Amino acid sequence: MNTGKTLFAQVMEFVPWRTFSRIVARHHGDAGTRTLSSAELFRVLAFSQLTWRESLRDIEACLAANSPKLFHMGLRSAPARSTLADALNSRDWRIYQAFAMRLIARARLLYADQRVLADLDAAVYALDSTTIDLCLSVFDWAPFRSTKAAIKLHTLLDLRGAIPSFIHISNGKMHDVRVLDMLPVEAGSIYVMDRGYIDYKRLFALHQAGAFFVTRAKETMDARRVYSSPSDRVGGVLCDQRVRLNGYYAQKHYPEHLRRIRYRDPETKKTLVFLTNNTALDAATICALYKCRWQVELFFKWIKQHLRIKRFLGTSENAVKTQIWAAIATYVLIAIVKKELAIQASLYTFLQILSVSIFEKTHILCALGESLDRIDDSFSENQLILFDF
């Protein structure tokens, strides 16, 4: 890598531009384009994510102030905010969705050797959604409540490296359980979700596909015990049972036995009831898997704090989805750079250094090495560093 390039240019070298060009051609993304191509728009959006720009005027001013360095960024000139607004509305958001998914596939291969639990080889995914509130009078295409709009990010997080393997963006009214119909199910994998995703018909389809699920039982669950296995009460497992659902429709939708585990948390003294179709793993491992589900909550908190997906550069559906997918692609790209260069710093530290040194002409490793001691000493342990991979 040429150390005479800016940090931004070095990061962009990890982008598979040939793949991006094929995606653009497939969607005719640059048809009739004269000023700002789809690739240039991605560079601008990645720049805004890495440097925390929050408006079109902000982006325009920062790029214009560094006009001698734009050529090395892959830009011909600083785009006007009207040009950016037109591009956000006209470039098909599916281009950036397909590109982000391509980066996700690459990142998952890099992090495939990591294990969620030390004695578990299977892939483990956490499923959940987060809501981003919007103004109903401006974003009328995303209805949620009678007085406000919202969009939902339904995310399936690969816990090996905290890489999102599936993302669906919907309006706020879409119920979480409907995402189970869209999931790319992998046989032998384990899907961890909260009780908002309990739908016996959909869970049985997951079971028939050869996958395993771990979730919490609803308080209104009606089932009868068929068999009880020995349980480790000292470890917090109160009971480990095979149960059969009662009720005509419940039995029809899930005709086989389920495994019910009652667990008492030794720290909070709270009793939790888990449901799973996995009968091979011990009860303690099932409980530990559900605890790992919290990583998807931390992922949502992290991206809302460190990516620009709460304030949008455009108001149309295409502009919002383009910005979100570009943000996801940028996040995954940084994770790829971190893994391929074997960077020891946390993702938080990496992004912080990039945000203030994006135009510096030094090698990425040198930039991190010169700043790590100072940042680690001044950074409070109470701050959030989620992904130390």
The DSSP output letter for 15 is: S
Classify residue 221: in a domain, yes or no: yes
Question: Of 277, 292, 324, at which residue does a domain stop?
Answer: 277
- Whether residue 325 sits in one domain with residue 269: no
Sheet order of strands, 149-158 included: 163-171, 149-158, 124-134, 190-193, 212-216, 271-276, 258-264, 237-245, 223-229
Q: Is the Cβ–Cβ distance between 108 and 46 less than 8 Å?
A: no
Classify residue 374: in a domain, yes or no: yes
- Whether residue 269 sits in one domain with residue 337: no
Q: What is the pLDDT of residue 231?
A: 85
Classify residue 44: in a domain, yes or no: yes
Count structural domains, the chain.
Answer: 2
Classify residue 288: in a domain, yes or no: no
H helix runs in the chain, sequence order: 7-12, 17-26, 38-51, 56-65, 70-73, 81-90, 93-110, 200-208, 248-253, 283-292, 294-306, 317-340, 347-357, 364-378
- Whether residue 79 sits in one domain with residue 15: yes
Helix axes 17-26 and 38-51, enclosed angle (nearest 10): 120
Q: What is the pLDDT of residue 374?
A: 39
Q: Angle CA(202)–CA(207)–CA(170) in degrees, nearest 5? A: 35
Q: Per residue in 313-333, pLDDT tens?
A: 999 999 999 999 999 999 999
CATH number of the domain within which 203 lies: 2.20.25
Q: What is the pLDDT of residue 85?
A: 93
Q: What is the pLDDT of residue 236?
A: 87
User: Which one, of 293, 280, 277, 289, lies nearest residue 244 by Cα?
Assistant: 277
Q: Is the Cβ–Cβ distance between 233 and 211 less than 8 Å?
A: no
Stretches where the chain sits below pLDDT 50 are 1, 370-389
Q: How many CB atoms lie within 10 A of CB 353?
A: 20
Integer Cα distance of 73 and 371 in angstroms:
23
pTM of the complete model? 0.86
How much of the chain exceeds pLDDT 90, in percent?
57
* Strand pairing class (212-216; 271-276): antiparallel
- Whether residue 273 sits in one domain with residue 222: yes
In one-letter notation, the amino acid at residue 87 is A
Integer Cα distance of 129 and 155 in angstroms:
6
Classify residue 30: in a domain, yes or no: yes
- Whether residue 323 sits in one domain with residue 263: no
Q: What is the pLDDT of residue 249?
A: 93
For residue 195, the surrounding DSSP H or E stretch is none
Q: How many CB atoms lie within 10 A of CB 305?
A: 11
- Whether residue 212 sits in one domain with residue 259: yes
In one-letter notation, the amino acid at residue 157 is L
Classify residue 223: in a domain, yes or no: yes
Question: Of 249, 277, 305, at which residue does a domain stop?
Answer: 277
User: Which one, of 389, 329, 334, lies nearest residue 358 by Cα?
Assistant: 334
Q: Is the Cβ–Cβ distance between 126 and 300 less than 8 Å?
A: no
Note down the domain range covering 268: 199-277
Question: Of 219, 251, 277, at which residue does a domain stop?
Answer: 277
Integer Cα distance of 152 and 131 in angstroms:
5
- Whether residue 90 sits in one domain with residue 24: yes
Q: Per residue in 71-111, pLDDT tens?
A: 878 888 888 999 999 999 999 999 999 999 999 999 999 88
- Whether residue 88 sits in one domain with residue 20: yes
Q: Is the Cβ–Cβ distance between 92 and 318 less than 8 Å?
A: yes
Secondary structure (3-state) at 19: helix
Contacts of 210 (CB under 8 A, 6+ apart): 185, 187, 188
- Whether residue 319 sits in one domain with residue 273: no
Classify residue 83: in a domain, yes or no: yes
Classify residue 204: in a domain, yes or no: yes
